[in-house]
Structure 1
Amino acid sequence: MRGASALIFGGLLLTAPVCAAQTIPWKDVSGWSVLIDPSTGNGCFISTMYEDGTILRLGFNFFQSQTKIYLALGNSDWKSLEVGKDYPVQIQFDRNPVWNATAQGIDFGGINFLSVSTTDTNFAEEFSRKLGMRATFNGREVAALGLKGSARAVTEMINCQESVNAAASARSTPQSPKDPFEAAPDKKSANDPFEL
């Protein structure tokens, strides 16, 4: 077994539903939805729902001192999960070594989720390259999920994030005026105080 650098996922996602109106759709890829979540600093994420009602979400959170990748698992049947409570969980991709993590109980739009985050990029790489994922709590399996299409979904999530970051960068860069000699609109002529 190996330990992951998984950390408790912060409270900024506590009020954001998984696929609510606050999120912005980007694209659907191979059974996964790619969306943008303003509550995570315009972090892109992927999400899918399984037949048993389990929802899986993987994405970026920029409201931390370091950019983090988070994984959230939820199900409307998990009513005993307590929001804000820590849960020691193990996550395993195929037969790879187990990631030990501390998950936090959160509420996304009335559905209880376990959420973990990490700065270790190997986590997302394993997620995208493997066929399945298991999550266990106290030795009991809470989810066994297929990851079909996850490689294409993660690639599109990264494309989404690159586009969002480029757009944000373009907005924050001041534009030079086309005519550098034109007076700024907020500057008044010293000789004519009524000049618009």
Structure 2
Amino acid sequence: MIASFLALLAAAQAPAIVRTPPPVFNPRPKSEVRTYQEDAGGWAIAIDDTLSGGCFAVRAFDEGTVVRVGINPKDNNFYIVVGNPKWRSLEVGKSYSIRWQFDSELPWDGTAHGFQFSSGGDHYLFQTFSDTEFFKEFVAKTRMTIYWETKRIATVSLDGTGQAVQATVQCQKREFNTQDPFAAAPETDDPFAKK
């Protein structure tokens, strides 16, 4: 099943780390996030209706760090969200140069953006990505260390990510009843057809 998900990722051909602002996350009622599976390798799997039914895996760690990795079918990309209640000075809307490192592999550099899921809530870093190697390392390695500038801001275990990714793929397939939620719309001669 992991191979199926990696094939799905390969369909999204874009630069290594997409440096675009995060989608707007307006305050929303809890009913817009639905639970799919409570435990998949220590990760919870859920569906975010504000992201066109995109499925995601989320896990909270002992030191307070929360990691969420998901699919955004609306924008045809993947994202990673990391937060910690201690990060109160992280500014919503501000760009942060972040370095992601899996075990001792070469790190990935990118730009994350500060945001909140709800007004007055905890602050998070949000970054989209589309390079399948990034996600392969996320699944295959044992820990992820996150740096801002030169400072290590979090290190988390990646235990259970294989099972979590498998459940996320199953969730997305069920949600869209398709093998590839990122497939382009079929070509049509109808100029009024919705795209």
| TM-score of the pair, normalised by structure 1 | 0.77
Q: Please, which runs of 5 or more residues in structure 1 have no aligned partner? A: 170-196
* Structure 1 CA distance for aligned equivalents of residues 159 and 24 of structure 2: 29
Cα drift, residue 72 of structure 1: 0.4
1:161 is the counterpart of 2:172: yes
CA RMSD of aligned residues (A): 2.0
Cα drift, residue 62 of structure 1: 2.0
Counterpart position of 1:120: 131
| Aligned CA distance change for structure 1 residues 145 and 156 (closer, same or farther; 3 Å) | same
Aligned residues: 162
Aligned with residue 7 of structure 1, among 19, 27, 34:
19
| Aligned CA distance change for structure 1 residues 9 and 165 (closer, same or farther; 3 Å) | farther
Amino acid at match of 1:21: S
Amino acid at match of 1:104: H
Counterpart position of 1:97: 106
Identity of aligned residues (%): 31
Q: Please, which runs of 5 or more residues in structure 2 have no aligned partner? A: 1-14, 181-195
Cα drift, residue 149 of structure 1: 0.5
Larger relative contact order (Cα-Cα within 8 Å, sequence gap ≥ 6): 2
Q: Equivalent residues in 2 for 1:29-178 (5 A)? A: 29-64=40-75, 67-109=76-118, 110-166=121-177
Q: Is the 8 A contact 2:16 2:130 kept in 1?
A: no
| TM-score of the pair, normalised by structure 2 | 0.77
Q: Is the 8 A contact 2:93 2:115 kept in 1?
A: yes
* Structure 2 CA distance for aligned equivalents of residues 16 and 132 of structure 1: 32
Structure 1 or 2, whichever has the larger Rg, is 1
1:123-144 CA-to-partner distances (Å, cap 9, x unmatched) read: 2221111100000001000110
